Amino acid sequence: MTSGRHPPDPAPHRPLPAAELNEETELLALLADGEFRSGEWLAGRLGISRAGIWKRVGKLAERGIALERVSGRGYRVPGGIELLDRERIAAALPERVRAQLSRFELRRVVDSTNALVLEGLRAGTLGHGAVVFAEQQTSGRGRRGRRWVSPFGCNIYCSFAWRFDAGVAALEGLSLVIGMAAVRALARVGARGVMLKWPNDLVAGAAKLGGILIEIDGELAGPVTAVIGVGINVSMPPGAATDIEQSWTDLEAVCGARVGRNALAAVLLESCLDVLGDFARYGFGHFATEWDRVDALRGLEVSVLAGSGPGVQGIANGIDASGALRLMTSEGEQLLSGGETSVRRNG
C-alpha cells in the first residue's frame, strides 16, 4: 500500500508521442510480414544508408527479435510479427468501452507497465480509466517480487488504473475477477479450457499462460486506485523463456494457431472494463458461480506459501464470498487471503 493524494483525471486519450515510433520500430514495421526485404530497399524506404540498416538490425537483435539475413535476398523476421497498433485496438472497442478511457497509451519499451501507471498516478498525469500497453518490459514484475519475462512484440503486457471510492475493503477478490475477464477474452479468440489458479494465474492444464498483478495507490481510509497489470503469453520464443522457473505455455500452443495480438488486446480491454463496472456495483459475490467453473485447484492437494514460512498444506475447496481460498487441512478448514501468497500443486 502506498500513500498519496488521488490525482485529477487527465484529458481524454491523445495520440502517441512521435518519440514512441523509434528507429528500430520503423524497420521492424517494414519486415513485419515475414517476407525478405533487401538492404537497399530498406535503406531507400527509411532514407538511411545500408550501414544504418545493419546498425538497426543489431539493435533489434538486442531486443530479442529473431532476424534472418540471407545473402542476395536481404532480411526478414521468420514467420512475421504483429506489432500492436493503438488506433486498430481503439477502433475495435465498443463505444461504451472507449467512453470509460481517460487515457489509452501504447509504449514500445518500458521498465514495467504497472510501474509506469503508478508513476503517472503519483505525478498527476494519469488517473482513473488510464490504460497502458507495451511491446516489451525490461523489468516486468510478477507477484512476490518475481520477474515477469517480457520479450519484445511477442505477448500482451498491459496495466489499468481504476478508482474505488469505497476504499481497500472494496478490492476483495479483484484479482480473481480480472482473471475471469481474461478467461472470457481468451475464449473469444479461440482459447478454450483456460482455467484460473488462485489467486492470480491463468493456466492451461498445469502450465502457466498468464498472470495478474494488482498494486494500490491511495489512502487506507479513503478512495484508492488499483493498478491492475495483466500479462498473457501469446507467442513466447523458447529462447526468451529460459529464465521462467515454472511450467509455461502460450496461446499459440493452446490454440494450435497464431492469435492476433491486436484482436486479443481489444477483447481483453473490453472484458476487463466490463467486469470492473460489475465488480464496483455488486462486489465479488456476483462472480462466485463463474469462478467455480474455472477453478483449476478445486479438489487438489496444494501447498500455500506466504513469506518465508513452511506454508500450509491441504485440499483446495473453492473460495468464500470474499475470494479467500478455502483450504481443508488436518486441523479443519482455513481461509487464506491472496496477499503475498503462492500456491503449488502437490504431486
Active site residues: 143, 208, 344
User: What are the cell numbers at 56?
Assistant: 538497426
Distance between CA atoms of residues 211 and 226, nearest Å: 16
Residue 199: is the preceding peptide bond cis (ω within 30°)?
yes
Distance between CA atoms of residues 328 and 302, nearest Å: 10
Distance between CA atoms of residues 236 and 254, nearest Å: 12
Helix (H) or strand (E) holding 280, with range, is helix 261-282
- Residue 59 neighbours by CB distance under 10 Å: 14
| Measured distance between the N- and C-terminal CA atoms of the chain, rounded to whole angstroms | 35
Where are the extended beta strands (E) located within 28-73?
68-70
Phi then psi dihedrals of residue 60, to 5 deg: -65, -40
Distance between CA atoms of residues 134 and 143, nearest Å: 19
- Residue 158 neighbours by CB distance under 10 Å: 23
Amino acid at 323: G
- Residue 2 neighbours by CB distance under 10 Å: 13
Q: Helices marked H in 283-343 — which ranges?
A: 288-294
CA nearest 133: which of 98, 109, 99, 167?
109
164 with 171: CB under 8 angstroms? yes
**Helix (H/G/I), strand (E/B), else coil: 345:** strand
**Helix (H/G/I), strand (E/B), else coil: 63:** coil
- Residue 63 neighbours by CB distance under 10 Å: 17
Sign of the CA dihedral running 20, 24, 28, 31: positive
